[in-house]
Amino acid sequence: MANLLPLPLPPPGQPLPLLPPGMPAPPLGAPSPGHRPHKSFVAFYGNAGLDPYQDSYARILERMDPEVNNAISHVFLLEQAVGLGAVPQAYLCCARRHNQVKVFCIHLPSKYVSALDGQPTPWDGQTFAFLGALVQGMVTTIELPAQAFQVVNHARAYTAEYILNHLDHIGDEGLVPPQDNNKEVASICTRRLMYLPSRYAALMLRNSGYTLQETWQLLYQAIVIETISRIVQP
């Protein structure tokens, strides 16, 4: 988790770009007969019946992993992501906010389509995603850059074992950049966004983000519990 690379936006030390302001909350899934629509993203992502990919997370993660499959371009992945509509879909990214390294959940990416009457807006053709949860019926929207799924080759990152051993000592500023002579550093190929299986999205919807320790504790515990439950099923 600490190896997530920050998106090219925003620059270090700057807040996440929020565009366009004041966007109203989207409809959270079509209501079934006799049922009310979801009133929160927590309820939306908690409804497994809306998630067509709940049995194919491994395949999606494999497609997103450039070390396994480097034939898919970041442009194609972005087009797929913004074209899914109101289907549960979430990603994790790292960003620096208020001099702290935080992990944020961005979800339901989409593309701003120009109006039918041709009236231009500053957002025509741009891609966006929601950040965090609904707050008083409003949702924070961030600009999703064209490089969101770009591959980063030869990124130097600490090994998972090193991160686990030092998790309690990671401060708000994150990990110290790896040194070339550190034996617990690996060269990896990754993308700027990490796919988050939708069943875990409800755990990561705090608008202010999560520290690396909080992210690990929340997701690791949830994954372990789910894995155990699958093993012990009759």
Higher-confidence residue of 2 and 28: namely 28
Structure tokens at 200: 């875990």
Would you say residue 35 lies in a domain?
A: no
Structure confidence at residue 233 as a pLDDT band (50, 70, 90): low
Please name which of 209, 188, 214 lies closest in space to residue 104, comparing C-alpha atoms. 209
Question: Is residue 128 domain-resident?
Answer: yes
In a domain, 170, yes or no: yes
pLDDT at 36: 55
Residue at 25 is within a domain = no
Domain that holds residue 148: 41-231
Sheet with 127-135, strands from edge to edge, namely: 138-143, 127-135, 100-111, 90-97, 194-196
In a domain, 31, yes or no: no
**Range name among 97-106, 110-119, 175-184, 201-210 with the lowest pLDDT average:** 175-184
More confident residue, 214 or 227: 214
In a domain, 28, yes or no: no
DSSP annotation string for 184-233: TEEEEEEESSEEE-GGGGGGG--TT-B-HHHHHHHHHHHHHHHHHHHHS-
Q: Please report whether residue 8 resides in a domain.
A: no
Neighbouring C-beta atoms of residue 194, cutoff 10 Å: 19
Residue 13: pLDDT over 50: no
Q: What is the mean pLDDT of residues 205-213?
A: 90
The reported pLDDT for the residue numbered 199 is 92
Buried-exposed string 117-144: b where 16+ CB fall within 10 A, e elsewhere: eeeeeebeebbbbbbbbbeeeebbbbbb
| pLDDT at residue 234, as a whole number | 53
Number of structural domains in the chain: 1
pLDDT attached to residue 34: 44
Residue 16 scores a pLDDT above 60 = no
Domain assignment present for residue 30? The answer is no
- What single-letter amino acid sits at 23? M
Write phi, then psi, for 146 (nearest 5 degrees).
-60, -20
Over range 69-88, report the average pLDDT. Answer: 90
Lowest-confidence pick of 22-36, 52-66, 113-127, 220-234: 22-36
**Predicted local confidence at residue 188, as pLDDT:** 86
* Mean pLDDT, the chain, integer: 79
Highest mean pLDDT among 59-63, 176-180, 218-222: 59-63
pLDDT band at 3 (very low <50, low <70, confident <90, very high): very low
* pLDDT tens digits for range 163-174: 888 877 777 666
Task: Please state, for a pLDDT cut of 90, what percent of the chain lies above it.
Answer: 28
Mean pLDDT computed over 21-27:
47
